[in-house]
Amino acid sequence: MIHAGYEGEIRVFAEYERDFTEGCDVAVVGSGPCGAVVARELAHAGLSVVLLEEGPPFTPAEFELDGARWMAKVFREGGLRATRGYVMPTLQARALGGGSLVNSAICVRPPEFVFEQWAAGYELEGTSRKDLDPHFDAVTDYLGIAPTPDDVQGPRNLLFRDGCNELGIGSEPIARNVRGCRGSGECFTGCRNRAKQSMDITYVPDALRRGAKVLTSVQVQEIESDGGRVTGLRGQVVAPFDGARSHRFRVNAKVVVLSAGCMATPVLLQKSGNLANRSGQVGENLQFHPGGMVTGVYPEPVNPQFGATQGFQSLHFLEQGFKLETFWAPVTAQALRFPGFGHDLKRRLAEMPRAATWDAIASCHRSLGTVRAGKGDSLEPKLHWRFDPEDIRVMGRALWELARIHFAAGAEKILPGVHGLPEELHSLEEARVLETREWKPTDITSGSTHVFCTTRMHGDPTKGVVDPLGRCHDVENLYIADTGIFPRCTSVNPMLTGMALAHRTADTIRDRL
Amino acid sequence: MPAGTALLATVVALALGGWALWRFVGGYPAARGFERLAPREVAFLRAVGDAMYPAGGVPRASGTDARIAEYVDEYLGLVPAQMGVLMRLLFFLVEQATILFPAPGRGGRRRFSALTPEQGAAVLDGWRSSCLPARRLVFTSLRAVLTNCYVADPSVLRDLRLAPFDFETPVLEADLLYPPIGRPPAEIVHGQADLTPPSDGSPLPLDGPLHPAYRAPEAP
């Protein structure tokens, strides 16, 4: 449908009545943070852009306050995806705007050492923090990214600040892509306050305004190529939620940009005749930021449902391999943190209004895995990943620091959530074992939504899939713009870095076309 | 054991296993009032739901009061079929595994749903505290399913004082672009006249009204 004031067009599931073909300068697969940036920037540059998204656009009426029901609607595999090897839940949204619809809007620029490691380890040029800062600035200005103000932090976030201050640990309010947050704590289930600047209300409408065509509920199944060049895409219309396939489509494009996410882009390449994989690196090097959590129970009410979903962080330990931050999620997910069963469990659940949960994300660049295409016509990936013992040690250390901060902030006890420990620890002395014991992977319950490196960039075409500008070494008019191109995890929340790199890739495509 | 006997035993075991799965997962009609769950699955979910969340205390509701089985029945229709099968296999496993991991006392090898509440609690504790990671994973998975269902109940969230707030949702320009999912553009809910100022960023009051879906029903 064409809307007044918009040069472009958006199509939704109910509008597809037959097979169809489109033509454009640039086809972008995936409308998450990276794909949306590319689509908007290239539409503004005057190129004809088709943005393809498998999920539907969600309106506030479709947001679900119940976490499980929401996850079943908005995430692939009903929100029940997990790695094999080490079993760890991981998520991938299927919606216009991708992960930006469901994440906590955290925007962090990695410090210089992260990019120095990239350059040194992967023969990269032009990827220093200084090189990328103009692109970080562009995204930051556009989305109004700013530190979370104190009045919507709530005790859950401010206790973290207080605990860090008490211990002399550096901490800061988290910068987020929000405007007018009221502290509803509903980032995960769709911001009813429309404060979160997710892609579906920012970059995508802006791309439409400048002439982009946005096709929702379409699943790209193959990238077509001929003589070392991509010629277009083909796929099918899919029904929202049940994924039933119907009409076929083809998009002819001069350039294709894959922004399907770190778990889907490699599958698409593998399903397309193992495209762009002379290096053998497509689907390899899978990295996560596994997250571990510690809940503190306080003597006074924390009212954890109020406050920015994730409002405070500490980058103090980044070079030691972990980042600390506050956390909130729907009660369904929070309740899983509370151990035991029966009346014990209910007694603990009743303490939730006095509880604050904080998490650590670990830079697990030693823990590697793979993404493989499933059999048949399924596009769901098979993920295999192992937790390296050294990274588990880092996680133990991170949990110990969280325990310290909780007790410094006045917690009367903590729930460590680690097998082999008592379900509640009442003092720092009791908690010290978190740091000193050798933990097994199965002792620690982790989850992760930060995924990286499965189509990594590398200066040497035999060791990586794309160059520093996001172009595939093997296919000159095929680009990748998602966190899969990171050569190594960022140590901080990756959305902003992915968007900055995507912004630069868009500039590159604009200059080359 | 000779190879032929081993092969025969394997075939018989597979056939029996397949029959049992078929009977349990797909071979029974749904229980009355349910769309997907068989009566035995409903019985299991009520028994294990009440063992996980017994009546009394805070929150007051038991697993049965919080309609865990009813929620699972609906949830199975939302998740991909393969995930639904895995979930039902999880229920089957815990229901039947008392043969291998019996409850203490008389009749401890009966199905989980036929155990006394004390025996059910002992069985769950066996899964929870097992030295085998796979058994602990079963407990964690089962507890995750049951907890998702339990805290979805509005009365539970009210008792926990964690029910969501009610507040006005601003109408943005982007809301004029998207129809409800599955509907054509002609059914886009909002027009230009509905646009509102964006959020002003004022903190939500903690004593503000609850979202309508979570308010206590009014007394008759």
Task: Indicate if the pLDDT at residue A302 is higher than 80.
Answer: yes
Q: Does B78 touch chain A (CB under 8 A)?
A: yes
Chain A CA closest to residue B180: A59
What is the pLDDT averaged over residues B100-116? 95
Question: Is the separation of the CB atoms in A318 and A310 below 8 Å?
Answer: no
Strands A146-147 and A175-176, sheet pairing: antiparallel
Question: Is the separation of the CB atoms in A95 and A58 below 8 Å?
Answer: yes
Please answer yes or no on whether A195 and B182 come within 8 Å at the CB atom: no
Q: What is the pLDDT of residues B131-188, one digit of tens each?
A: 998 999 899 999 999 999 999 999 999 999 999 999 999 999 999 999 999 999 999 9
Residue A402: both structure tokens together: 């969280």
Tell me, what's the pLDDT at B24?
A: 57
Instruction: Encode B103-131: b = buried (16+ Cβ within 10 Å), e = exposed.
Output: beeeeeeebbbebeeebbbbbbbbbbeee
Please answer yes or no on whether A3 and B177 come within 8 Å at the CB atom: yes
Please answer yes or no on whether B199 and A200 come within 8 Å at the CB atom: no
Between the CA atoms of A483, A487, A490 and A495, what dihedral angle is there, to the nearest 10 degrees?
A: -10
How far from chain centre, in Å, is Cα A313? 17
Q: Please name the residues in contact with A269: beta carbons below 8 A apart, sequence gap of 6 or more.
A: A223, A258, A275, A276, A277, A282, A283, A455
What is the pLDDT averaged over residues B31-48? 94
Please tell me which of the candidates A78, A240, A341 has its beta carbon nearest to residue B79. A78
Chain A CA closest to residue B135: A442
ipTM (interface predicted TM)? 0.92
For B:2-21, CB contacts with A below 8 A are: none
Contacts of A340 in chain B (CB under 8 A): 128
pLDDT band at B26 (very low <50, low <70, confident <90, very high): low
Nearest of A455, A88, A73, A89 to residue A263 by alpha carbon = A455
Tell me, what's the pLDDT at A224?
A: 97
Tell me, what's the pLDDT at B32?
A: 87
Average predicted confidence (pLDDT) for chain A: 96
Helices A112-122, A129-143: inter-axial angle, 10-degree rounding = 130
Contacts of A184 in chain B (CB under 8 A): 164-165, 167, 204
Tell me, what's the pLDDT at B22?
A: 65
Phi (first) and psi of residue A159, to 5 degrees:
-60, -35
> Does an H or E element contain A358, and which?
strand A355-362
Between the CA atoms of A355, A361, A366 and A367, what dihedral angle is there, to the nearest 10 degrees?
A: 60
B53 min Cα distance to partner chain A (Å)? 5
Please answer yes or no on whether A67 and B80 come within 8 Å at the CB atom: no
Question: Is the separation of the CB atoms in B99 and B108 below 8 Å?
Answer: no
A167 min Cα distance to partner chain B (Å)? 29
Q: Which of B147, B195, B211 to mutate to test the interface with A (most CBs of A within 10 A)?
A: B147
Chain A CA closest to residue B179: A59
Q: From residue B134, how far is each of A75, A251, A342, B49, B127 by CA, in Å? A: 26, 46, 21, 21, 9
Round to whole Å and give the CA distance between A223 and A27.
Answer: 11
Q: Quote the pTM value.
A: 0.93
Phi (first) and psi of residue B143, to 5 degrees:
-65, -35
Please tell me which of the candidates A87, A341, A353 has its beta carbon nearest to residue B51. A341
First to last CA, chain B: 71
Question: Is the separation of the CB atoms in A110 and A116 below 8 Å?
Answer: no
B5 min Cα distance to partner chain A (Å)? 34
